[in-house]
Amino acid sequence: MGELEGSYRVLQTPGTRLGAQFNAGISTLEPGQSLSGNMIGGSKSHGRGLQIRVQGLDDSQEFFDIDPKALGQALLSEVFHSGNLIESDYFGLEFQNMQMNWVPHAYLPNINRWTLSLRGFFPPCRYLFSLQMKRDLMEGRLICTENTGALLASHLVQSEIGDYDDAADRDFLRMNKLLPYQEKVQERIMELHRRHLGQTPAESDFQILEIARKLEMYGVRFHPAADREGTKINLAVAHMGLQVFQGHTKINTFNWSKIRKLSFKRKRFLIKLHPEVHKYYVIHYQSFSFLMASRDQCKIFWKICVEYHSFFRLLDQPQPKSKTMLFNRGSSFRYSPQLSPFNSKGPLCLSPSFQMSTLSLPGQTPSPLQSPILSEVGSNARLEEEEEGRRKRYPTDKAYFIAKEILTTERTYLKDLEVITVWFRSAVIKDNAMPEGLMTLLFSNIDPIYEFHRGFLKELDQRLALWEGRSNAHVKGDYQRIGDVMLRNMCALKEFTGYLQKHDEVLTELEKATKRLKKLETVYKEFELQKVCYLPLNTFLLKPIQRLMHYKLILERLCKHYSPAHRDHDDCKEALKEVAEIATQLQSSLIRLENFQKLTELQRDLIGIENLTAPGREFIREGCLYKLTKKGLQQRMFFLFSDMLLYTSKGVTATNQFKVHGQLPLHGMIVEESENEWSVPHCFTIYSAQRTIVVAASSKVEMGKWIEDLNIAIDLAKKSQDKSSIFLDAELGDRSSDEVSLEQESEDDMNSSHTSLDKQTHHRANTTMHVCWHRNTSVSMSDHSLAVENQLSGYLLRKFKNSNGWQKLWVVFTNFCLFFYKTHQDDFPLASLPLLGYTVSTPEESDSIHKEYVFKLQFKSHVYFFRAESEYTFERWMEVIKSAASTTGRMSLHKSSCCV
């Protein structure tokens, strides 16, 4: 026969492509390495049985006759034997039944009517995995940008037809679909293919895998679900753990080593983490739940998680069970090939039974979005009768409720002082962690203030008891007022001005000592995670000065209520004059201390910057924006200061810290709206001296806040004569020019182990920055100041959306958050509810709430009802919650000229 004319490429088999001899098999074993029983021998069954079609990674199909009673391993062995696939541990079969499912080793489900697909777990064979990447690209499973998709396609073209030829490329792309959007990027594919001149098929396969493995979504397969608040999310399993996505943005990862229990109950998938053991206490089990579309999908996902959890916690090959069990609770599914380190006697047992944790404790809460779950009271009828009786018996004058607010907030304030004077003192003394000089400075300043307020609280309580008629004295008139008590104590408080002025030094010296002394740093960080320390520790040191502002606001309210002729008016007016004088003296110190406190709090929660508390730096705004990168829009936390703009990403480690990705100096910065240019809603561009970035806000209002504060800060930076605080851009991994930054940001380094205490200690999950991250919002320094002014405490009745009874709780509002206690005597809150993003309103007709003074809190599908005791307290709760839920304040940067 004559030779065929023209150029052509011989179709290569998997073995020949890797340079192997005929029938040599597909393997990456080193010379001399044994197969260690990877293959289970077997021959085809020629009798009557199941005829199963298997589609290979190269789209070839083959039929196999399998005994209906055969195990799944028999089919796998036949497929591996037919394809000369030696390293079988890395491959498996899938069948599609609503979604793709792995064929189990133990048994064969009724799958004769389905086509099975060969798929790989890990890449021991480049060619087969390049074929898998080809299929994943075509089916849209490999999530990447269009540019990355075009690059992968160009390598696939090079692998199949060799070097670039315009006509050959067009013919090949016309006949073969490599991408769902191929027509759109065809010219780009051909342009990239031209650059691969001389590249062999093996080199092309290698490039495909190199590009694919760096993609964040490589190997990720989504399972749709919803969180506890009804938000649509996607769950996925990976080598590092169980991942949670919102859209294509990863928002959380549960590491396999942290997971104690995986289970499901009907459509609800449940996770329970190991308790965190600390020096002084144990944080109880953390639990999470997700709702999936059906019980079947929930069970399938649970099985996948069990196998991954066991496989990646492998220590040894398990031994078979020595005895049978007559009765078994839950599912019998086990991952038998591997041994879990959690159970040295046998395989991991994860049954679908679960008991939900009933409390959401500070320091324990997995997310600031987790709502408090408290048990309902037993006798709601009796509770309501008591409330009605109390309302009829107690005074109804507005002045009484204002006086009662002084009492209730004073109770909370004294408890806050005890966090330092009692609890923190005990912690540092126990470990001898604080130098004697600092002990004297700290406690000699705060102890006298604490003792004074103990007496003040007792006097307030006695006066309100008389006013309400709770004591033996029932004399009216002189006891139905508060001005004399306030005047007497505000005059006495002037004697403590010197102590209050030293709080600046106390806060600064404590921060210095914490950085210098490792033992003190350890005690400090561990104490912050105790339940009693429900806010960042140094926040409690600001309470004495902030309390002066509360007295001033409450007395202003009393003076406005009283007529000049009222017997209590003059005393209230004089008390207001006294406290206003002290507050004026300490106003600049308070501004400086609040700024310093915020900077030190951020310093602990940020990785990658060490000098955040530099002199002259002021905090302006923090919040969530989406930054344009090579992967598309990626969620980032931004922090605006008076001299620079930081942007960070949330790590996937257990520390809850954020990692700094870039520092942009404000000097020379320009900000412009760019929605039309990028076709992205609420988008604006930030031009800095060495970098340009494009970001998008969650709403028009959020965009306006950021642009306004950025422009004010930039103008002030221009006028500043001190240029020492201008920082060079420290962008990670990229030193590009003036072009828009579309850097490839890798988060792999966040998973690595760290040695410093900052990177080992768990951080609070309900701080403002974490709430902003989850709620896609921002908070300014003026918002923080307003929240401090609007602190409130008192008893409220609470009702869930679908419950019948009301539960009486002691509620504290501070730092944009509601904290719930059983009674005001409790040392720590049972649960917390961050309010950023919530709306507050009165109930609608459809809510069927037929009570007075009820307000409604709602975030998406999560709804609470709260019932106040009077019109005044109802209006006060509405006022303070509105101030937190909709943070619309602005910081006047001109008002604060002095900094730490």
User: In this predicted model, what pLDDT tens digit does every residue of 828-865 receive, in sequence order?
Assistant: 999 999 998 899 999 998 888 989 999 999 988 889 99
Region of residue 731 (phi > 0: left; psi between -120 and 50: alpha; otherwise: beta): beta
Q: 28 or 175, which is more confident?
A: 175
Two tokens at 470?
């709770």
Per-residue pLDDT tens over the stretch 97-149: 444 444 554 455 555 444 555 444 434 455 666 777 777 787 777 778 888 88
Q: Which of 82-91, 244-253, 776-785 has the highest mean pLDDT?
A: 776-785
Region of residue 119 (phi > 0: left; psi between -120 and 50: alpha; otherwise: beta): beta
- Does position 192 have pLDDT exceeding 50, yes or no? yes
- Does position 25 have pLDDT exceeding 70, yes or no? no
* Verdict on whether the full-model pTM lies above 0.95: no
- Compute the average pLDDT of residues 593-612: 90
- Does position 3 have pLDDT exceeding 50, yes or no? no
- Compute the average pLDDT of residues 592-608: 91
Per-residue pLDDT tens over the stretch 386-421: 555 555 556 778 999 999 999 999 999 999 999 999
C-beta of residue 729 within 8 angstroms of C-beta of residue 665: yes
Residue 245 confidence class, pLDDT cut points 50, 70, 90: confident
Torsion sign (Cα): 218, 224, 227, 232: positive
Q: How far is CA 6 from CA 9, 165, 300, 793, in A?
A: 10, 15, 53, 88
Residues 372 and 829: their CA atoms lie apart, in Å, by 10
What are the two backbone dihedrals, phi and then psi, of residue 91, each rounded to the nearest 5 degrees?
Answer: -135, 155
Please state which of the ranges 685-694, 704-713, 741-750 shows the lowest mean pLDDT: 741-750
Residue 604 is predicted with a pLDDT of 86
What are the structural domains, with CATH classification, of the chain?
A: 50-120 (3.10.20.90), 126-213 (1.20.80.10), 222-293 (2.30.29.30), 404-605 (1.20.900.10), 614-723 (2.30.29.30), 791-885 (2.30.29.30)
Residue at 705: amino acid letter: K
Per-residue pLDDT tens over the stretch 330-348: 555 554 443 333 332 334 3
Residues 838 and 832: their CA atoms lie apart, in Å, by 14
C-beta of residue 635 within 8 angstroms of C-beta of residue 623: no
CB atoms within 10 A of CB 678: 15
Residue 81 is predicted with a pLDDT of 76
- Compute the average pLDDT of residues 542-554: 94
Closest among 679, 635, 618 to 898, alpha carbons compared: 618
Q: 284 or 837, which is more confident?
A: 837
- Compute the average pLDDT of residues 17-29: 38
Triad 703, 367, 749: Cα angle to 5°:
80
- Does position 217 have pLDDT exceeding 80, yes or no? no
Residues 57 and 888: their CA atoms lie apart, in Å, by 56
Residues 768 and 816: their CA atoms lie apart, in Å, by 8
Q: 82 or 491, which is more confident?
A: 491
Residues 683 and 633: their CA atoms lie apart, in Å, by 11
Two tokens at 563?
């007529």
Residues 450 and 420: their CA atoms lie apart, in Å, by 10
Which SS3 state, helix, strand or coil, does residue 458 take? helix
Residue 790 is predicted with a pLDDT of 82
Torsion sign (Cα): 592, 598, 601, 603: negative
Residues 834 and 817: their CA atoms lie apart, in Å, by 4
Residues 514 and 523: their CA atoms lie apart, in Å, by 9
The kind and range of the H/E element at 334 are none
C-beta of residue 413 within 8 angstroms of C-beta of residue 387: no
C-beta of residue 71 within 8 angstroms of C-beta of residue 21: no
Residue 547 confidence class, pLDDT cut points 50, 70, 90: very high
Closest among 680, 743, 688, 732 to 710, alpha carbons compared: 688
Q: Report the DSSP pairing between strands 115-120 and 99-102.
A: unpaired
Q: DSSP state, 194? A: G
Residue 765 is predicted with a pLDDT of 57
The kind and range of the H/E element at 625 are strand 619-629
Residues 797 and 879: their CA atoms lie apart, in Å, by 18
CB atoms within 10 A of CB 54: 22
- Does position 665 have pLDDT exceeding 50, yes or no? yes
Close Cβ partners of 618 (under 8 Å, ≥ 6 residues apart):
595, 641, 642, 781, 893, 896, 899
